Amino acid sequence: MKISVDTKISAIIKENKESIEVIASLNRHFRKLKNPFLRKTLGSRVTIKEAASIGNVSTDLILEKLQKIGFEIENTAQKTEDNKPIVVKDNKLPEKITFELDVREQLSKGKDPMKRILKKSAKVKPGESFLLINSFEPLPIMHLLKDKGFSSRVVKPEENLVQVYFSKDQDIANTETQENLDLLTKEDFENKVAGYNGTLETTDVRALEMPGPMVTILEETEKLPQGAALYVDHKKIPQYLLPELSNRRFKVYGYEVDENNVKLLITKEQ
C-alpha cells in the first residue's frame, strides 16, 4: 500500500494491524490507538500529518517506521484536507467562557475523556464557548466538535500545555441526528425489518459496558457485506455514535420499546 502524510491512520491500520504497535511506540499519546473504539472513530479522521502534530514527532519518522513494515511511501505534494477542524489562528479569544474542562489527569491515568467532553459540549449553546485544557493538541476531538458546529482557537502557553477554546457557531447536531435516524412505530419498524431483502446480521449490546456497545456496532457494520443490514438490541439510542455512522453512510431506523430497550436497524446507504 502506498501512503503519504495525508493517509488516514485507519486506512493504515486496516491494511496492516502491526502498524498499531509501531505507531503507538512513537509517543505515549498514540497509545490510545490500542482502544478499539478510539481507533475506529478517531483514526478515520486523523491523517499521518495530524498524528505527527498530536505526538510532537516528525512525519518523516512515522513514514520511516511504517516503511519498515512494508508500506510504500508516496512522494507527492501535500493535498488540502476537506475535513480539517476550523482553527482560528488570531489572538482574539472568546470574552466569556461557559466552563473549563481539564482532562490532563484523566489522560495520565490512561482513561478516555471523550465521553466527558462530548457530554459537556452538548450543553453549550450557539454563541457560547468553553475551554479544554490538554497536554497535546486534540485534533480528533476538534474534528468531532467541528461536525457539531464548533470552531476552535488553539493556544500553547508552554510545553505540554495546550488550551483549546471551542466556540459554538451553529447548532447542527440535532439536524445531523434527525437526518441519520428515523424513529418508527412498532408496526412500521417490524415491517421495515420484514421487508428487508438482503442479509440481516444481529447483535445484542444491552449487557455491555461503555464503550462496548459502540465498539461492537462499529465492528459489525464494518464487516457487513454489500446489501446487508445490522439488527441491534440496545438499551438506548446511541447519540454519540450516530454522526460516525452517518459519516460512513449508514442509515439508522429505531423503535423504542421502553426506556431501557431500543431496537435498531442499521443499513448502508447506496
Dump pLDDT digits (tens) for 189-217.
Answer: 999 998 887 789 999 999 987 677 888 89
How far apart CA 91 and CA 254 sit, in angstroms, is 45
Q: Where in the chain is the domain with CATH 1.10.3910.10?
A: 2-73
Question: Mean pLDDT, to the nearest integer, of 244-268?
Answer: 89
**pLDDT of 149 higher than 50:** yes
Mean pLDDT over each residue of the chain, to the nearest integer: 82
Check residue 235 and give its pLDDT: 92
Residue 134: other Cβ atoms inside 10 A: 22
**pLDDT of 227 higher than 50:** yes
Q: Higher model confidence: residue 176 or residue 215?
A: 215
Residue 62: other Cβ atoms inside 10 A: 25
Residue 185: other Cβ atoms inside 10 A: 10
How far apart CA 181 and CA 78 sit, in angstroms, is 36
CATH top class, domain 2-73: mainly alpha
Find all residues with CB under 8 Å of 2, minimum gap 6, and list them.
71, 72, 73, 74
Question: What is the model's pTM?
Answer: 0.53
Least confidently predicted of 7-11, 72-76, 88-92, 171-175? 171-175
Query: 55-106, pLDDT tens digit by residue?
Result: 778 899 999 999 999 999 987 544 444 445 555 544 578 888 999 999 988 8
Q: Where in the chain is the domain with CATH 3.30.110?
A: 87-168
In the numeric block, which cell numbers belong to residue 47? Answer: 491523517
Helices 48-55, 139-146: inter-axial angle, 10-degree rounding = 120
**pLDDT of 43 higher than 90:** no
Residue among 11, 81, 88 nearest 49 (CA)? 81
CA trace torsion 226, 82, 175, 120 (10° rounding) = 110
Q: Please name the fold of domain 87-168.
A: Translation Initiation Factor IF3 (3.30.110)
Helices 114-121, 139-146: inter-axial angle, 10-degree rounding = 30
